Structure 1
Amino acid sequence: MKIPHSVKISFRSILKNKTQSLISILGLGIGLGCVFLLSLLYIHENSFDSFIPQKENLYRVLRGPVYLTSYPLGSTIKEEIPLVDNYFRYYQDSDVELKNSHHDLVRDKRFAYADTSLFTCLGIKILQGNSSRSEREICISASTANRYFNKENPINQILQVKINNRFLSLRVCGVYEDFPQNSRLYPNFICNLDLIRESLGRHQRYLGHFGKASEVFKDWDHFLFETYLLLNKNADPQNVLRHMQAYKNKTVDEKRRDQDYDLQIVTDIYLHSSALYEITESRTGNATQLKYLLVISLFILLIAVVNYVFLTKAKMENRLKDFGVQKAMGASTKSILKQVLLESNMLSFLSLFPASLVVLWGFPFINNTLERTLGIEVFMIWQSWVVLFLVVIVTGSISGIVIGLTITSRSSVDLIKGIKLKSLKGKGWTNSVLSIHFAIFIILVTGVLIIKKQLHYAQTSSKNIETENVIICEFNSLELSKQYQLITNEVEKIPGVICTAGSSLIPPVNLNMPVTLMYENHKVRFDGLFMGKGMLGLLGVQFLDGFDFGDFHPDQNDENEVIFNESAAKKYKLKVGELFNGFNVRGIVKDFSGHSFHSQIQPMVILQQDPQKMNLFAIKTSGLNNDEIRKKAGEFFSKLSPDVIVNIYTLKEQISEFYKKEQQQVKLLTAFSFFAIILSVMGLLGMVLNAIFLKRKEIGIRKVNGAKTIEILRMLNCDFAKWVIFSFVFACPIAWYAMHKWLENFAYKTELSWWIFVLSGLIAMGIALLTVSFQSWRAATRNPVESLRYE
């Protein structure tokens, strides 16, 4: 097939200007790659639960700001409201322990309890067998079946699953297809909902001595399940809601009686649940964050296109005479514009190669950083291809039209004489774009440094708690809890162990455990902790008055002794030895961090826990051999209870989990900073090449008249350096304001140190000077005869 002449000319032009063409392709490719990546993420996030066949009729029940409901609600609605065709209730555990086919003890995630109608409502196919219809049956996903049974038929196989500290034999009754990557619910195991009784025993044990049993299947005040309703096709959701409000009176809790029921369509749950009080093991999105990312992607594209225009302009300056000759020989304005547009689009399509590398790198980065499920499945959505095609065509066309119209607006005489493209020559516009580039980079780098500084402060400066060298062990079985004293005696013999103590919660924790007491004939709520003897001392909490808990003697009603923090003592005028709501005030401790630095310290009450019902075991070490201590403690626990996986981690690691969102922000800002500086360098490089081209005669004359290389470098560098300084002055107040607002999310925060802003500016200046100096040195060391020859 014969290649068109215009295509050959475009390829020759690209190859003739290899350096500038390569810079153009890389710069535009990075910009396009970022746009593709974030656009695909936007499309993917908005596609969640769109696979459900009857998605327009499937709703989740809300109660006020909470998405959890009681067990009787779903069945009662189905029986009494004819507009509801079907329903299912859903509860998911974070992970479970089970024995695989080789009888090895393993831990697996995504273990759910649900009504069998889940499969019908969500349109999930059962590939083999049927759904679980009794407590001792379990349905598993196809990938789980392959993982545990390989090529064997999983139906009627037995899985030993540990629920509430004992292994239950569950028969595999069915295998269902894996939930799609854009499904909010994604269980590997689905048990019959009746088995929830066993699971709740584990949660009651979590509170140890203070855990209370509940009849969940009859209790309208036990809010544990997500309830989904499949409405009739012709049903009005508002009509269903009016019927549902009558069920508010079935709850004893007065506050809950004032909360109205609401319905949330299933396709809105993933992205639009941020206003709900939601602690879930299911996937959750963030609509606000997604909008910010989309704006950032468009901004990156704008920068990339502007850079491309400047780079193309610098390249076209060398071809003005060629276009002038074409125009003088009779070439029409349309043909020249077509040629420029073709070359621009060819460069745009060539930039797809570096763009694809950015996308390939970006998929795992986005998934690991934001905990998303972006994969090649997104290309199955037709909108993805429309976005990719339009971005490439629009980018190449806009860039080509801007340059083409500027060239064709000049006469052939002006072009032959090499008169510059004045419409693109505006120095102020060019330098202002440069300033914006580096201002963005400075803002991003400042953000990264301040967030890291705040994270370091939050993770190392817990208020009045010694978080260093504290190892936490989870007691995942009654056998371990009952042997608390034996474990204490043996672990304290390990070299490097200073002391040990037990607790149900070890602060700082991410979990709020409210305790309600009576004060002056009305209820007051405290932040609650359940601790054993010695835990406060292990954490270095200081007593302002009174003493720590002594040995636990349940027959002497030790549970009637409590310890309050300083805030509670001041607010309610408490003193050691007095009674408060029937509790003897044993001690007052200095305020300490019960939770993350996001929240203010609240009035707190600490109750004593039964040692044989501890959920957590803490080890205070000297810090010299922590790895060895963790290893020996784990081995000892395995001897005591072989069928238990004991989680062992440090208090520092626990605190680090509080700030996962901020850690994600640091990674994102770092990535954007990286791309911002690359695009800034690309733009600066194009401007430098253009400036050197315009000043080639001046440089030659200066060299002939004895100017030194250092003087040429100073002349070229100073002009760009002052604009980087301007960008620093412009960026600092914006960065200060943005980070000041961000720090308002913390009750306890670090300072906005001046050196962070200076360091960001110096980094930007260093990168700019290195970029400019390299090209300036090449121009300054060139033979002046070559420079003068062009004129």
Structure 2
Amino acid sequence: MFTNYLKIAWRNIIRNKSFSAINILGLAAGLACSLLIMLWVQDERGVDAFHTNGDRLYQVYERSTFDGKTEGMYNTQGLLAQELKNVIPEVEYASGLESNGTATFEAGDRIGKMTGSFAGEDFFSMFTYPLLEGTAQTALNTPEAVAISRKMAEQFFGSAAKAVGQPIRFENKLNLTVTAVFDNLPVNSTHQFDFVRSWKAFVQENVWVHNWSNTSPATYVQLRAGADAAKVSTKIKDFIYRYKGKQPEMVVELDLQPFRERYLHSAFENGTISGGRIEYVRMLSVVAVFILLIACINFMNLATARSAKRAKEVGVRKVVGAQRSALIGQFVGEALMLTFFAVLVSLFVVVCILPAFSQLTGKQLSLPVGQPFFWLALTGLMIVTGFVAGSYPAVFLSSLKPARVLKGSLKFGQGPAIFRKSLVVLQFTLTIVLLIGMIVMYRQMDYFRSRNLGYDRENLLYIPLEGNLLQQFDLFREEAGRLPGILSVSRMRNSPTVIGHHSNGIEWPGKPDGVAVSFADAVVGYDFVKTLNLQVKAGRDFSRAYGADSSGFLVNESAVKKMGLADPIGQPVTWGNRKGSIIGVLKDFHFNSMHQAIEPLIVRLDENFKWGTVLVRTAAGKTQEALTGLEKLSKTINPKFPFTYQFSDLEYNRLYKSEAVVSKLAGVFAFLAIFISCLGLFGLAMFTAEQRTKEIGVRKVMGASVPDIIRLLSKDFLKPVVIAMLIGFPLAWYTMYRWLQGFAYQTDMVWWVFGLAAFVTVSIATLTVSMQSLRAALTNPVKSLKAES
């Protein structure tokens, strides 16, 4: 019996090649989309999941309540890790981690730039970064120690075995010793570095860590087996008050987050971890379900459109004794067979486009064909899709009465027609939500790119301040200013794209008692305002003509508002141990992601800061000429360091990398949803044309023109689309409104977004239906009447 059903199913597929091809194409498109999203989601959820002790690894984060608000952050105190290990019995290992940025190394005649971090002695005991040479216990136990990657070892020493014990010059100022070589880090690790220096060196180079009011590094702990994380969180809540006095104006608490959750759950709301990249994972997972559902609905409509061709077969089978359950099994089996072919096509499509998809998402994705779970999941997806897609046609066809079918032409009541149109409404509702979501995301990304940040990020270069540039920066600036294409040169502790350092030790006359205010702070050189093209709203920029400017401060408008100063110029301000006065007010500019509102900012002058970034403003159209001159100058002044640079706009765009990827994916999947939905609409048009064959023939005999027939058949198909808009528009508005709330600065939900979505949807739907209507209208009426006779 089963073999017989397979033969019948195969014959029906072969006999109706066009119908089968459309069905397989629609399902394959939906399955391919779902597979791609599944691979992306699996990769996202697999980040940091490879650590052997992952279930006991936690990151410490800080929750601060001040100035009437509560904020959370991952920046912690520099000595926190070691103290937690010393004081909390449940903490087995602990380590700080702080970026050491990009540094230049030299070994023999080999010079290269590498990216690295500082970490504690326990780092390699906690995290599963396999050591090829050396031991976890001794890798970072001295200030001169450095652990390097396999790639770095091969570049400088030829192999990992030859690297251990060898000296290596760091930044042309320190001689370090290679104590360990770790394997190259996997791409699914949030930690990415080529070298790791000792935490003891970090403490030596940063005396501020001894002040427990200062924060910057990340802190990680590994709890002992069986330790209760909730109890440990309670113990460390007020931990820092062991080392600093309590301030009523600011309450600081510590808490723990499982490390494996850090990548996807990294956003804070009122000091509590709430959301992050997990929102995009959920969003695209829903999109995958939507598109697969659209494909299944498309299958149902197409199968129903051909139901008249199978009706007599059903009638004959019932007359000769076929049970309804057997008929349902037959039709579901045919759906499973079509789904099987669709799976094969989808796998071929995925293999072909996976490299492009990987490039689009910035990942290294591949089909896990060697994993049994992948094939089990794929089989489950095929079975579920086949049953969902074939369920309604199977139940519907098996319910036909043989007496009605065998008496004459088959006519369907209103119930099935309403159900089919409801499916089309559901299809287009989901499609419209996806389409509007894509347009809104694109507008938000365009808003980021085009918004006036308050400084000019075009033709702005960042060059690391390193080596001889630190001691001879004045010479570099003077010589660079003479080069063609260069308008201005300055320096800054960080970069204007991301000012992450904060201070709550700012004092000014009239500051309310018991109130702590957090200021973003920056350290800059002369011509900072000129180089960034900032606007000075009041006062002036730092100037060499005023020797006292070393004790002066610039503040932004938000800082003036927070300080409540009506006339800020000349007002005394104390920043830690520095006392001075405000000499200028800067018009607010964005120095962080637009997820955040502009914060109060205070800026001081210091041309002798021991690290930072050179800011270079180039003339429009002369950037390449300027780069050539800067490279030659850098090799002259700083020969031990390769010349590197970064464009400001590229660094700015990296702040929105996740949003950019999701926006592009939403666009691809939205148009794929439209394509599949139109296949479903085509099926409904096909069904209607088959049911009204005789009517069309009579109308043509009575003198109806082809346009009349097209209008007759097309008008009903716009009704489900219009209904879908009425349902989809509010859903899309609510969904995207919630998404936009994650940005402090956002684009508007303008009416034409919905108008554009409506125009695109109606146009494509009309074109799809018109093609089938035209085909029916051009059919010879004699054939139409004979077919129904």
TM-score normalised by the chain length of structure 1:
0.85
Q: Are 1:230 and 2:220 counterparts?
A: no
8 Å contact from structure 2 (residues 295, 677) kept in 1:
no
Determine the structure 2 residue equivalent to 1:677. 674
Determine the structure 1 residue equivalent to 2:93. 87
Superposition pairs of residues 28-67 of structure 1, within 5 angstroms: 28-47=27-46, 49-64=48-63, 65-67=72-74
8 Å contact from structure 1 (residues 530, 606) kept in 2:
yes
In terms of mean alpha carbon deviation, does 707-716 or 269-278 score higher? Answer: 269-278
Q: Are 1:437 and 2:427 counterparts?
A: yes
Cα deviation for residue 152 of structure 1 reads: 7.7
Which whole-Å deviations, capped at 9, do the CAs of 1:632-671 have from their partners, x for residues lacking one?
3233223321332444344333332333343233113212
Determine the structure 1 residue equivalent to 2:550. 559
Aligned length: 763
Find 1:495's aligned residue among 478, 484, 491. Answer: 484
Find 1:171's aligned residue among 175, 178, 187. Answer: 178
8 Å contact from structure 1 (residues 483, 612) kept in 2:
no
Which whole-Å deviations, capped at 9, do the CAs of 1:508-530 have from their partners, x for residues lacking one?
54535446421236564434333
Which whole-Å deviations, capped at 9, do the CAs of 1:517-546 have from their partners, x for residues lacking one?
212365644343333333323434333433
8 Å contact from structure 1 (residues 37, 362) kept in 2:
no
| Change in 2 beyond 3 A, CA 1:195/1:585 | closer
The one-letter code of the counterpart of 1:156 is: V
Determine the structure 2 residue equivalent to 1:409. 399
In terms of mean alpha carbon deviation, does 536-545 or 16-25 score higher? Answer: 536-545
In terms of mean alpha carbon deviation, does 696-705 or 760-769 score higher? Answer: 696-705
Find 2:244's aligned residue among 252, 255, 278. Answer: 252
Q: Distance in 1 between matches of 2:690 and 2:785?
A: 12
Which whole-Å deviations, capped at 9, do the CAs of 1:353-400 have from their partners, x for residues lacking one?
232245446755675555556544596373x44432222112212333
Determine the structure 2 residue equivalent to 1:485. 474
| Change in 2 beyond 3 A, CA 1:258/1:385 | farther
8 Å contact from structure 1 (residues 472, 649) kept in 2:
yes
* Other structure's SS at 1:493 match: coil
- Identity over aligned pairs, percent: 26
| Change in 2 beyond 3 A, CA 1:751/1:697 | same
Determine the structure 2 residue equivalent to 1:297. 288
| Change in 2 beyond 3 A, CA 1:125/1:721 | same
Cα deviation for residue 343 of structure 1 reads: 1.0
Cα deviation for residue 137 of structure 1 reads: 4.7
Superposition pairs of residues 181-330 of structure 1, within 5 angstroms: 183-185=189-191, 187-197=193-203, 201=205, 213-214=206-207, 216=209, 224-233=217-226, 235-241=227-233, 244=236, 247-252=239-244, 254=246, 258-275=251-268, 286-330=277-321
Superposition pairs of residues 542-691 of structure 1, within 5 angstroms: 542-551=535-544, 556-569=547-560, 571-581=564-574, 582-610=579-607, 615-691=612-688
Q: Are 1:775 and 2:767 counterparts?
A: no
8 Å contact from structure 1 (residues 476, 644) kept in 2:
no
| Change in 2 beyond 3 A, CA 1:417/1:504 | farther
Which whole-Å deviations, capped at 9, do the CAs of 1:691-721 have from their partners, x for residues lacking one?
2222222223333334332222222222223
* Other structure's SS at 2:433 match: helix
| Change in 2 beyond 3 A, CA 1:116/1:649 | closer
8 Å contact from structure 2 (residues 432, 725) kept in 1:
yes
Q: Distance in 2 between matches of 1:565 and 1:185?
A: 34
Determine the structure 2 residue equivalent to 1:96. 102
| Change in 2 beyond 3 A, CA 1:194/1:503 | closer
Determine the structure 2 residue equivalent to 1:205. none
| Change in 2 beyond 3 A, CA 1:398/1:479 | same
8 Å contact from structure 1 (residues 510, 596) kept in 2:
no
Q: Please, which runs of 5 or more residues in structure 1 have no aligned partner? A: 202-212, 279-283
Superposition pairs of residues 327-346 of structure 1, within 5 angstroms: 327-346=318-337
Superposition pairs of residues 8-23 of structure 1, within 5 angstroms: 8-23=7-22
How large is the Cα RMSD of the aligned pairs?
3.8
| Change in 2 beyond 3 A, CA 1:140/1:672 | same
* Other structure's SS at 1:474 match: strand
Determine the structure 2 residue equivalent to 1:710. 707
Cα deviation for residue 761 of structure 1 reads: 1.6
8 Å contact from structure 2 (residues 84, 94) kept in 1:
no
Superposition pairs of residues 760-771 of structure 1, within 5 angstroms: 760-771=757-768
| Change in 2 beyond 3 A, CA 1:246/1:10 | closer
Superposition pairs of residues 72-83 of structure 1, within 5 angstroms: 72-83=79-90
| Change in 2 beyond 3 A, CA 1:277/1:52 | farther
The one-letter code of the counterpart of 1:331 is: A
* Other structure's SS at 1:562 match: strand
| Change in 2 beyond 3 A, CA 1:357/1:611 | farther
8 Å contact from structure 1 (residues 407, 421) kept in 2:
no
| Change in 2 beyond 3 A, CA 1:76/1:450 | closer
* Other structure's SS at 1:318 match: helix
The one-letter code of the counterpart of 1:14 is: I
Determine the structure 2 residue equivalent to 1:204. none
Which whole-Å deviations, capped at 9, do the CAs of 1:275-323 have from their partners, x for residues lacking one?
3999xxxxx9733332333333223222221111111112332122222
8 Å contact from structure 2 (residues 105, 114) kept in 1:
no
| Change in 2 beyond 3 A, CA 1:484/1:777 | same
The one-letter code of the counterpart of 1:318 is: K
Determine the structure 2 residue equivalent to 1:526. 519
Which whole-Å deviations, capped at 9, do the CAs of 1:389-422 have from their partners, x for residues lacking one?
2221122123334222222222323233465474
TM-score normalised by the chain length of structure 2:
0.85
| Change in 2 beyond 3 A, CA 1:421/1:342 | farther
| Change in 2 beyond 3 A, CA 1:128/1:376 | farther
* Other structure's SS at 1:319 match: helix
* Other structure's SS at 2:268 match: coil
| Change in 2 beyond 3 A, CA 1:334/1:103 | farther
| Change in 2 beyond 3 A, CA 1:92/1:362 | farther
* Other structure's SS at 2:679 match: helix
8 Å contact from structure 1 (residues 442, 760) kept in 2:
yes
| Change in 2 beyond 3 A, CA 1:687/1:147 | farther
Superposition pairs of residues 505-520 of structure 1, within 5 angstroms: 505=494, 507-509=496-498, 511-514=500-503, 516-519=505-508, 520=510
Which whole-Å deviations, capped at 9, do the CAs of 1:8-62 have from their partners, x for residues lacking one?
2211111111111111112112222333343454455445555444444444444
Q: Are 1:449 and 2:439 counterparts?
A: yes
Find 2:389's aligned residue among 393, 396, 399. Answer: 399
The one-letter code of the counterpart of 2:243 is: T
| Change in 2 beyond 3 A, CA 1:563/1:218 | closer
